[in-house]
Chains A and B, each alone.
Chain A
Amino acid sequence: MLKILNGGIETLVEDAPGRLGYLGKGMAPSGAFDPVALGLANILVGNPPGEAGLEITGGFLEAQFGMDTVIAIAGTDMGPTINGQAMPMWESLAVKEGDVIKFSHIGEYGFRSYLAVSGGIDVPPYLGSKSTCIFGSYGGFEGRKLAPGDVLQFGSPVKNKKDLVGGKLKKEALPVYPREWILRAVPGPNTSPDYATEEGMDYLFSHSFKVQHTSNRSAYRLEALPDSFFARPDGGVGGSHPSNILDHGYAMPGALNICGNTPVLLIADGPTLGGYMCALSVINADLWMVGQGTPGRDYMKFQVCTQEEATQARRDRKKLLSEASLA
């Protein structure tokens, strides 16, 4: 078990790909915001890639292990320590009962860190997932972020702990965290010529958008679009602004919602239906990058992608999140 001494800014229990099949019931998939970092950490400790771990946003988590186990940390480098000693990231290591793990603030690159434990975090699944939906206050650990005094139980390890210690990843499996994230995206459902101008779509697919401070687990807000983006004078029966549309389901996660002039990436805990147009969707295999995008610091740029490329990218990612990535 793990006893929380300091929950940090926001630490959540998340699995991947989260709670699928409830969009029409108003429930977002939630799940790890960066399923690649969580997945690789899980592979290192012998878990399936989607097993539940801790998602640490912003930093400052401090916790004490109540048993000997094997862990791995992946994601942004928050300078994690064990009993005050710097610990390596992206590899598996043994911890002992009584050891204290402590994280500092976010690293130079990336925004979220993941802690995986052999056997996973044992919380009761809700509607098929252990993920926390922080906006709806359900799932995960009592539907909330972790706080001092919380005690988390671990599942039963699949593999012998001794065989896991010292596990490393192949160099090519390690993700690269830039300051400008290139996200492959499929245009639609609302594009030129009927909703946006071609000039506007060109802008959308070439501009480097700064991630706004107001971004969170339900929405990543980007810099505003110029009025010339819109092809319509208003939203017709959908509303007065040209970004308005009669309510429709959102392709969650990944849809780029145009809310007034603000492009908003709907991810993780985001809304599943609403009255704003959607100009593109980030492909599934690249969604992890949004989770590492640092509000107020990083930029995002979209690159047109075909359905075939998107499907191939899913296959490539599945391979990445497997034992094939172990050195």
Chain B
Amino acid sequence: MGEEKYKVILDTMPETESRLEVLFRQAGDGFLQVEYGRIQRAALQDSFRMLAVNDIIQDKKIKGLIETVPGLRTNLFHFDPEVLSLKELMVHIKEAEDSMPTVDDVVLHSRLIHLPMAFEDSETKKAVAKYAKEVRPDAPNIIDGYNIEYIALCNGVTVYEFKEMFLGTDWFNSGGGFWPGGAFLWPTDPRCAIVVPKYNPPRTWTPEGAVGIGGPCVFTYTTPTGGGYQLFGRTIPTFQFAQKHPIFQNGPFLYKPADRVRFHEVTEAEVLEIYDHVHNQTDYEYKIDEGKIVVKDYLAWYNSEKVQAGMKALKAKQAEGVKKAPRL
């Protein structure tokens, strides 16, 4: 008995040059969670490698595997135990893991999606005003009727610098979930790693296309919903229930795990015109480049003196900003 009683780590794989220790955790009847490392850490290289392994597993077209749900450092496998046994599934995952023994082997298929967006648009301003009126009139994250000043304040930078940082990095999708079509987007450039607290309490309404940040993640709201991320602008549709536009022909979702998103600034009028061309005229052409992430190259760049120095400089500014910004 003792520890054995609620034992859920069914098997492990040792740490290698390219990855942390792998833990196979029992996660229910028909579910298995694969976790990387015993210590929780938020590091993009863990996600890159995990998604590369996930691609290999998906390509195997394993009978009885219903789906996988990648998080940042875990992958949840959903399967039909009447068709595929837990044991067989673990053998498949181990084979995929073993096929990438060194970091040189880790190359991830990753599309680059270009999204136009307008900062400080009127729709997301309406959402903030509604929150101030109906939920929390004294919310300290609302300055001049909006959240963008507060975002800058928390990070010890100006609004202009915040915008430069947001546009200056690609945002990596570690996987979707939580809300239909949503993606959790992380900055690939650590020099642009803005961090902000989430709303307290949350909003009751956010417009489609709102762009927000909560903790270290950026989220583009797919449909009107509540939410807790600090708002700073609006982008074009990334989801379409009706699947009328050709890009949504095979599913209402734009994002796939491992996609990178690069935002560029346009006017609010342009964003609104694109809405018409996506939802009504269905002739807007999304700009998506095929691409890949070579993890070895990414790590070399990430660890370079220039990037590390920039990251440290931002962290110092953020430490000062946190002291000045009011708590939520």
Contact = CB atoms under 8 A, between A and B. Distances in A.
A189 interface: yes
Given A246-B73, A284-B30, A24 B6 contact: no
A237 B41 contact: yes
A314 B181 contact: no
- Taking chain B's interface residues, is the majority helix, strand, or loop, or is none over half, making it mixed? loop
Interface string B63-83: 000111111111110100110
A48 B27 CA distance: 30
Given A189-B35, A249-B70, A272-B177, A198 B2 contact: yes
B70 A201 contact: no
Given A24-B67, A26-B177, A281-B31, A193 B3 contact: yes
B160 interface: no
A310 B29 contact: yes
B176 interface: yes
A223 B81 CA distance: 31
- Taking chain A's interface residues, is the majority helix, strand, or loop, or is none over half, making it mixed? mixed
A159 interface: no
A21 B64 CA distance: 12
A190 B76 CA distance: 13
Contacts of A193: 3
Interface in A262-279: 271-274, 278
Interface string B160-198: 000000000000000111111110100000000000000
B66 A21 contact: yes
B33 interface: yes
A127 interface: yes
B177 A273 contact: yes
B103 interface: no
A251 B31 CA distance: 6
B69 A27 contact: no
Interface in A219-247: 236-238, 245-247
Interface of A: 20-27, 127, 136, 138, 186-194, 196, 198, 201, 236-238, 245-251, 254-255, 271-274, 278, 280-281, 283-285, 305, 307, 310-311, 314-315
Interface of B: 2-3, 5-6, 8, 25-31, 33, 35, 38-42, 66-76, 78, 81-82, 86, 175-182, 184, 222-223, 241, 251-253, 257
